[in-house]
């Protein structure tokens, strides 16, 4: 009986360690995901700014073309 109890206690300790490691890994992945999402959002904002600049440049070139044409 004691050997069985000891084996179960050891198994429980192993499971707890594995669960703790999994929780730490999940927290690490969540933090990395947050950083990646922030980078993605910044890149999307920058792409929007660049698209606006290209549009403004195209408009300016079109105006210039009508003045010199």
pLDDT of residue 28: 99
Enumerate the H helices of 1-69 as residue ranges. 2-68
Q: What is the pLDDT of residue 10?
A: 98
Closest CA to 28 of 39, 20, 17, 40: 20
**pLDDT tens figures, 7-66:** 999 999 999 999 999 999 999 999 999 999 999 999 999 999 999 999 999 999 999 998
pTM: 0.68
Report in angstroms the alpha-carbon separations of 51 from 26, 41, 48: 37, 15, 5
For position 68, what pLDDT does the model report?
78
pLDDT at residue number 27: 99
């Amino acid at each position: 009986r004691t050997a069985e109890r000891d084996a179960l206690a050891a198994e429980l300790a192993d499971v707890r360690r594995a669960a703790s490691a999994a929780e730490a890994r999940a927290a690490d992945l969540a933090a990395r995901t947050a950083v990646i999402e922030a980078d993605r959002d910044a890149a999307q904002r920058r792409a929007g700014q660049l698209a606006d600049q290209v549009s403004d440049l195209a408009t300016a070139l079109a105006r210039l073309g009508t003045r010199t044409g």
